[in-house]
Structure formats: C-alpha cells, structure tokens
Homo-oligomer: A and B are copies of this chain.
C-alpha cells in the first residue's frame, strides 16, 4: 500500500454549473461566477480575504477516475495518449484542481469569485494568494 495523507474538506463550491460535461475544459472558456462556502471550523483561516484579491483555489475533483495514468488531451482521440502529469485532465492519481480566480465579494463564510470552472458541490481543500 502506498503512503497516503488525509486531506480535509475546508469548504465547497456553490455554482450554477451542475454537470461535469458542462464544465469548460480550459481557462477562459466562459466558466460562471461562483461561491466558495467555507466550513465554519476553518472560517478564521479565510478572515483576511478581501474583494479584489487574486487567489488560487485547490479543489478535490471528486468525480474523477484516479486510476488513469495516460489520456487523450482534452478528450480528443485524434491526439496521442499523454501522461496525465503533462495534462490538466481531472483524471489523475490525485485529482486536485487548481483554479486562479479573483474575489468579487466576501460575506461571512462565503467568497464570491469570478469564472470558476468547477461543478456545484466540488470540495475545496485549500485557498492561497495567487503569485
């Protein structure tokens, strides 16, 4: 058994995007604005996030196949099979999503962000300032 660590869910995406098939495959393909609801035990960690901040959300793409090591990029079968570490495919050993977004507004326990390509209910595992 490989070594493992336990990842805590610190919040969740609320979005009009309901189905994975509807999620844009690349940045800038028109993802909707969405909210991140922070779980109360982790509220203090988010207490200094302000409107206008550029942040990186780390999500857990919980619908993904974790046993896939090579994929056709963007699901295009005319492209050669490619190791998933060279792609942004959600199918990968640890399906962590990286989302670079701008904070539009902040309410207690809730961040409203621009253009988030993650379906409603996606678990959030970390928030960091963007570079």
Using CB atoms and an 8 Å cutoff, list the residues of chain A in contact with chain B.
2-10, 27, 39, 41-42, 44-49, 53, 55-56, 58, 60, 62, 66, 69-70, 82-88, 92-94, 96, 98, 100, 123, 125-129, 131
Contacts and interface: CB of A to CB of B under 8 A. Distances in A.
Contacts of A47: 70, 83
Contacts of A128: 85, 88, 98
B125 A94 contact: yes
Nearest to A39: B2
Contact of A96 (B27, B58, B70): B58
| A contact patch SS | mixed
B58 A94 contact: yes
B83 A44 contact: yes
A65 to B, nearest CB: 13
A100 B131 contact: yes
Contact of A94 (B10, B62, B85): B10
Contact of A3 (B9, B27, B46, B131): B9
B45 A84 contact: yes
A129 B53 CA distance: 24
Given A48-B83, A88-B128, A92-B126, 15 more contacts: A2-B8, A3-B9, A5-B7, A5-B62, A6-B6, A8-B93, A8-B94, A10-B93, A10-B94, A45-B84, A46-B83, A48-B85, A48-B86, A94-B125, A98-B98
